[in-house]
């Protein structure tokens, strides 16, 4: 049974959750100032192409705004120092460090862009309340409005505790990483995010549920509500709904005339400060891509050069990521007098995983493979552009959009867990059939898409689609392995384990042998047919062919104790916050490390 508060009321009326939204102050600028402290005391702008995308507070004094043209920024602030911020690599690294720091509280953390995170501290506070004489708690930081009376559900106290946790989080991010941040504390994501910037920079604000609707009224434009973007705003305005108050006062039936029922309900709720969307644990990205924009490109060969350059950089990122991509997308933007800003168009197609190989444990692609990828990109380009006519592009992009490992929602939490040397060693050993098996079935991509593979560039083995019964733990493990790295990578990686790890491996391997761990077996397995939990979105048979179907208690008990606990908790209640301790998403602490290091050198 699930007594946790991770199941919410539709109308969010119980105020049962505590959500923190953290926003790093002028993120890019802080990264640059940390890198070069002399920038700290001068007005600084981060430039991408012709735009100042952000600036430090010194520059803001002069009126340098976000997304200002460089020329305009220099007008208001001739002393402005500009740093080019088009390469996001270091920002991404810093972003990951912050994210990782927040995982330390063992709560679900959802990344939003590069510099924002949501943290659901509900369960953490529940735990604290148990071991606490719950008199009054002091609030840390600012409060939006003083409460008149204590809310009967106790949310005020909970949110005050949350404000203290938020303060701890900001302190940690500052002490250990050097970034000042703002946080917003509320009972849902919407309010937490909106209240966050009330006291900027480097401070925090809490709002109690009773002030939600009045606070929302202070926003005026509907556009300022997150998730209401340009299009939705246009649609609303066309109905004479312009302010948040308008939206609050519009009957639901009226909204349903112009929006889907779901959307109408959501819009209405948002206007009232209600939001029941959960904080979703972030994991590895679902796509990895790069774009380049420019004045204009009108020649096919130039386009090919752009793609080639993007591909070079992209392959580095993919190698760092470790997963094998199976789909490629080409994006472009045509110069168009009518539509001013970005109307992008894209085409994508499957690619053969055989383009990628693992040499010495590192994901590589041969020159021929790169040519293949480039050819695919050009084929997609041709779909978008009629080459018999002139064309003018202002942007091209290239992205890998699907990977062999399934990575969605809470399964990502497993990925973090499994990104640990000890677990991976265990995984390897449980997999000694792998070492002999050379061909793996990798077709377990995304459940629905395996039917429409474009086979033109290679063979993609279709997976047998018959359901198998699998021991639960075995299946988990199977998933984990898939997510951590490709099996062959693990295979190679095993050779690179340090002596201590190897000891562990062989030891466990021995144990495995006598204990009914018949290789390759499927005999005694539990029925999994109900698949009622998160398993169903995870692994199909294809993946199970390469994963040990006989993982058992020995393997499990070889894990560190705390991890056992967390795994148990997670299996029991996949949506709970249990589970994230030793995490190393991507290359957080070792930005320059190659995949081998990333995956096989233990943390210190």
Partner DNA sequence: CGGGGCAAGT
Partner DNA sequence: ACTTGCC
Residue nearer to DNA on the CB measure, 5 or 395: 395
Residue nearer to DNA on the CB measure, 89 or 520: 89
Region from 129-137, 220-228, 456-464, 572-580 binding DNA, contact rule CB under 7 A: 220-228
**359: three-class secondary structure by DSSP:** strand
Residue nearer to DNA on the CB measure, 156 or 280: 280
Distance CA 231, CA 258 (A): 12
Q: Using CB under 7 A, which of 248, 293, 357, 370 touches DNA? A: 293
What burial class does residue 417 get, using C-beta atoms within 10 Å of its C-beta: 0-12 exposed, 13-18 middle, 19+ buried? buried
Beta strands in 437-490 (DSSP E): none
Question: Sign of the CA dihedral 417, 421, 426, 431?
Answer: positive
- When asked if residue 221 is in the footprint of DNA (CB under 7 A), the reply is no
Q: Using CB under 7 A, which of 53, 355, 497, 546 touches DNA? A: 53
* Contact predicate 433/519, CB 8 Å: yes
Residue nearer to DNA on the CB measure, 9 or 382: 382
| Shortest separation between residue 196's beta carbon and DNA, angstroms | 10
- When asked if residue 95 is in the footprint of DNA (CB under 7 A), the reply is no
Could you tell me which residues are beta bridge partners of residue 111? 117
**346: three-class secondary structure by DSSP:** strand
| Shortest separation between residue 483's beta carbon and DNA, angstroms | 13
Distance CA 540, CA 528 (A): 12
* Contact predicate 43/58, CB 8 Å: yes
Q: At what angle do helices 472-484 and 421-429 cross, to 10 degrees?
A: 120
- When asked if residue 395 is in the footprint of DNA (CB under 7 A), the reply is yes
3-state helix, strand, coil in the chain (%, to 5): 45, 15, 40
Residue nearer to DNA on the CB measure, 48 or 126: 48
- When asked if residue 202 is in the footprint of DNA (CB under 7 A), the reply is no
Distant-in-sequence, close-in-space partners of 291: CB < 8 Å, separation ≥ 6: 310, 331, 395, 396, 397, 398
| Shortest separation between residue 56's beta carbon and DNA, angstroms | 16
- When asked if residue 154 is in the footprint of DNA (CB under 7 A), the reply is no
| Shortest separation between residue 591's beta carbon and DNA, angstroms | 14
What burial class does residue 85 get, using C-beta atoms within 10 Å of its C-beta: 0-12 exposed, 13-18 middle, 19+ buried? buried
Q: Using CB under 7 A, which of 229, 462, 519, 560 touches DNA? A: 229
Distance CA 549, CA 478 (A): 8
Q: How many CA within 13 A on the CB side of residue 190?
A: 25
| Shortest separation between residue 58's beta carbon and DNA, angstroms | 20
| Shortest separation between residue 452's beta carbon and DNA, angstroms | 5
Distance CA 395, CA 235 (A): 28
Q: Which residues carry out catalysis?
A: 116
* Contact predicate 526/469, CB 8 Å: yes
| Shortest separation between residue 487's beta carbon and DNA, angstroms | 23
One character per residue 365-394, x = contact with DNA (rule: CB under 7 A)? ------------------x----------x
Q: Using CB under 7 A, which of 71, 135, 138, 230 touches DNA? A: 230
- When asked if residue 88 is in the footprint of DNA (CB under 7 A), the reply is yes
What burial class does residue 201 get, using C-beta atoms within 10 Å of its C-beta: 0-12 exposed, 13-18 middle, 19+ buried? middle
- When asked if residue 156 is in the footprint of DNA (CB under 7 A), the reply is no
Region from 29-37, 106-114, 480-488, 537-545 binding DNA, contact rule CB under 7 A: 106-114
Q: Number of residues in contact with DNA, rule: CB under 7 A? A: 58
Q: What are phi and psi of 297, to 5 degrees?
A: -130, 130
Distance CA 342, CA 394 (A): 9
| Shortest separation between residue 21's beta carbon and DNA, angstroms | 10
* Contact predicate 407/286, CB 8 Å: yes
Q: Using CB under 7 A, which of 90, 292, 533, 541 touches DNA? A: 292
Region from 150-158, 449-457, 507-515, 541-549 binding DNA, contact rule CB under 7 A: 449-457
Residues 414-433 that bind DNA (CB under 7 A): none
Distance CA 568, CA 542 (A): 25
Could you tell me which residues are beta bridge partners of residue 112? 116
| Shortest separation between residue 79's beta carbon and DNA, angstroms | 21
- When asked if residue 193 is in the footprint of DNA (CB under 7 A), the reply is yes
- When asked if residue 76 is in the footprint of DNA (CB under 7 A), the reply is no
Q: What are the helix (H) ranges across 275-366? A: 300-321
Residues 451-510 that bind DNA (CB under 7 A): 452, 454
How large is the C-alpha radius of gyration of the chain? 26
Closest CA to 584 of 575, 573, 595: 595
| Shortest separation between residue 219's beta carbon and DNA, angstroms | 13
Region from 112-120, 301-309, 356-364, 531-539 binding DNA, contact rule CB under 7 A: 112-120
Residues 231-290 that bind DNA (CB under 7 A): 231-232, 260, 262-263, 280, 284-290
What burial class does residue 291 get, using C-beta atoms within 10 Å of its C-beta: 0-12 exposed, 13-18 middle, 19+ buried? middle
- When asked if residue 228 is in the footprint of DNA (CB under 7 A), the reply is yes
Residues 319-348 that bind DNA (CB under 7 A): 327, 340-348
| DSSP-derived pairing of the beta strands 393-403 and 325-334 | antiparallel
- When asked if residue 90 is in the footprint of DNA (CB under 7 A), the reply is no
Residue nearer to DNA on the CB measure, 200 or 568: 200
Contacting residues toward DNA, per CB under 7 A = 48-51, 53, 67-68, 86, 88, 92, 112-116, 193, 226-232, 260, 262-263, 280, 284-293, 327, 340-350, 383, 394-395, 397, 399, 408, 449, 452, 454
């Amino acid at each position: 049974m699930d007594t946790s508060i991770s199941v919410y009321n539709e109308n969010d009326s119980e105020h049962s959750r505590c959500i923190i939204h953290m926003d790093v102050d002028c993120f890019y600028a802080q990264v640059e100032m940390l890198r070069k402290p002399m920038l700290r005391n001068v007005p600084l702008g981060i430039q991408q192409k012709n735009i100042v995308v952000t600036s430090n507070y010194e520059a803001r004094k002069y009126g340098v705004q976000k997304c200002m043209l460089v020329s305009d920024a220099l007008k208001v602030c001739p002393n402005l120092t500009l740093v080019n911020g088009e390469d996001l690599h270091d920002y991404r690294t810093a972003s990951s460090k912050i994210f990782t720091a927040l995982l330390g509280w063992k709560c679900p953390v959802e990344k939003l862009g590069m510099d924002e995170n949501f943290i659901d501290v509900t369960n953490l506070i529940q735990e604290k309340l148990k071991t606490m004489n719950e008199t009054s708690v002091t609030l840390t930081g600012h409060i939006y409005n003083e409460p008149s009376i204590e809310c009967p559900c106790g949310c005020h106290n909970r949110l005050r505790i949350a404000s203290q946790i938020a303060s701890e989080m900001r302190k940690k991010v500052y002490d250990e990483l050097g970034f000042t941040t703002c946080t917003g504390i509320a009972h849902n994501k919407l309010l937490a995010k909106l209240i966050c910037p009330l006291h900027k920079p480097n401070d925090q604000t809490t709002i109690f549920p009773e002030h939600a609707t009045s606070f929302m009224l202070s926003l005026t434009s509907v556009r300022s509500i997150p998730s209401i973007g340009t299009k939705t705003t246009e649609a609303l305005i066309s109905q004479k709904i312009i302010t948040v108050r308008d939206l609050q006062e519009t009957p639901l039936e009226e909204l349903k005339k112009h929006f889907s029922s779901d959307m109408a309900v959501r819009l209405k709720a948002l206007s009232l400060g209600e939001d029941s969307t959960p904080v979703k644990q972030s994991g590895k990205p679902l796509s990895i891509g790069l774009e380049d924009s420019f004045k204009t490109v009108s020649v096919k060969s130039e386009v090919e050069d752009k793609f080639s350059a993007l591909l070079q950089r992209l392959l580095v990122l993919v190698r760092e990521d470790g997963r094998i991509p199976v789909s490629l997308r080409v994006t472009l933007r045509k110069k168009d007098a009518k539509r001013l800003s970005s109307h992008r168009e894209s085409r994508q197609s499957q690619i053969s995983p055989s383009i990628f190989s693992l040499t010495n444990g590192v994901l590589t692609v041969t020159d021929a493979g790169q040519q293949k990828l480039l050819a695919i990109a050009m084929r997609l380009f041709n779909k978008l552009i009629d080459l018999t006519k002139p064309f003018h592009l202002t942007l091209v992009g290239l992205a890998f959009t699907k990977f062999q490992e399934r990575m969605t929602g809470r399964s990502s939490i497993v990925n973090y867990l499994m990104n640990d040397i000890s677990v991976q060693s265990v995984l390897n050993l449980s997999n000694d059939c792998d070492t002999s098996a050379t061909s793996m079935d990798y077709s377990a991509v995304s459940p629905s898409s395996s039917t429409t593979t474009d086979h033109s560039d290679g063979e993609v083995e279709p997976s047998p689609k018959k359901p198998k019964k699998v021991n639960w733990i075995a299946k988990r493990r199977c998933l984990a392995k898939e997510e951590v790295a490709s099996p062959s990578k693990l295979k190679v990686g095993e050779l690179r384990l340090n002596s201590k790890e190897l000891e562990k491996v062989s030891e466990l391997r021995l144990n495995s042998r006598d204990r009914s761990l018949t290789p390759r077996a499927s005999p005694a397995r539990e029925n999994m047919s109900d698949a009622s939990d998160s398993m169903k979105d995870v692994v199909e048979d294809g993946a199970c062919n390469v994963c040990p179907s006989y993982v058992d208690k020995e393997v499990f008990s070889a894990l560190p104790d705390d991890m056992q606990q967390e795994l148990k908790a997670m299996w029991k209640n996949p949506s709970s916050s249990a589970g994230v301790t030793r995490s190393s998403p991507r290359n957080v602490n070792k930005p320059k490390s190659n995949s081998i290091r990333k995956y096989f050198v233990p943390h210190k």
